[in-house]
């Protein structure tokens, strides 16, 4: 293959659910559930200029953009390179957005649909909003795999590196949770560099658990510590 999997490294991993957000390569867990917590989309270090149209986003889009911001934070980047691409997955595509849009249309008497709901009825829409926010100009696609397994989509991200982008964000997000990985090209000959996490190690860790964000994060944290999970 032109871009070998071992030439691509995982530079940052971010995740969130309805209660907690965190990063893996620079381990951090922050609780934001409850009245006192500050949700990650209101964290100034994640979104220094705010997020345009945040209130318009559906939940899947909000989860996608925050997971990607956390992956960048984990990689110690405030902004990705422009030619970074984005590939995403989940279990059910845009099913919830489809239901919301068409139910609203029926309730309105089947005469007038809402464009602002219609634009989220594509599985790629949360990715597109994320690309617009971060200025990601590389390849963008939704890759659906059975069960929305994130490990399989990591390989798609590696494959798309062959199309020339400087990096790829790989994200699995739905209405309740999200996890994102920033892939980049492996540094060569930098002895002082922090130990890099290979895509193989990441995939091997994920393969040990079937489903669920908590399980994925747990094995990734173990893999980062080098304990083998």
Provide the binding-site residues for other proteins, judged by CB under 8 A: 1-3, 82, 85-86, 91-93, 95, 98-99, 101-103, 105-106, 110-115, 118-119, 121-125, 127-129, 131-132, 134-147, 152, 156, 159-160, 162-164
| Residue 158 host element (H or E) | helix 150-160
Residues 6+ apart with CB under 8 A from 26: 74, 76
Instruction: Measure the CA dihedral 154/138/94/29, to 10°.
Output: 60
Q: Alpha-carbon distance 50 to 73, whole Å?
A: 15
d(CA 46, CA 78): 8
* Residue (150 or 217) nearer to other proteins, CB: 150
The tokens for 142 are: 């939704």
Q: How far is CA 97 from the centre of its chain?
A: 18
- Between CA 13 and CA 67 the distance in angstroms is 8
CA angle 29, 31, 34 (to 5 degrees): 175
Contact 125, 98 (CB under 8 A): no
Report d(CA 9, CA 95) in Å as an integer. Answer: 32
Per the DSSP assignment, residues forming a β-bridge with 13 are 181
- Quick count: other Cβ atoms within 10 Å of Cβ 81? 15
């Amino acid at each position: 293959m032109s871009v070998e999997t071992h030439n691509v490294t995982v530079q940052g991993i971010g995740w969130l659910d309805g209660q907690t957000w965190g990063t893996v390569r620079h381990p951090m867990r922050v609780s934001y559930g409850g009245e006192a917590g500050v949700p990650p989309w209101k964290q100034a270090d994640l979104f220094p200029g705010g997020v345009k149209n945040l209130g318009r986003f559906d939940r899947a889009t909000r989860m996608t953009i925050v997971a990607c911001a956390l992956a960048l934070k984990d990689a110690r980047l405030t902004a990705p390179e422009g030619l970074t691409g984005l590939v995403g997955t989940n279990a059910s595509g845009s099913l919830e957005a489809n239901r919301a849009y068409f139910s609203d249309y029926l309730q309105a008497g089947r005469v007038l649909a809402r464009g602002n709901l219609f634009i989220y009825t594509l599985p790629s829409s949360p990715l597109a909003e994320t690309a617009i926010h971060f200025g990601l100009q590389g390849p963008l696609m939704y890759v659906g795999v059975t069960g929305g397994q994130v490990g399989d989509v990591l390989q798609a991200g590696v494959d798309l590196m062959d199309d020339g982008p400087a990096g790829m964000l790989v994200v699995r997000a739905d209405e309740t949770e999200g996890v994102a990985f920033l892939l980049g090209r492996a540094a060569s000959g930098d002895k002082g560099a922090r130990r890099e996490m290979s895509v193989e190690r990441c995939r091997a860790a994920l393969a040990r658990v079937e489903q669920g964000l908590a399980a994925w994060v747990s094995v990734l944290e173990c893999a980062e510590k080098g304990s083998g999970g």
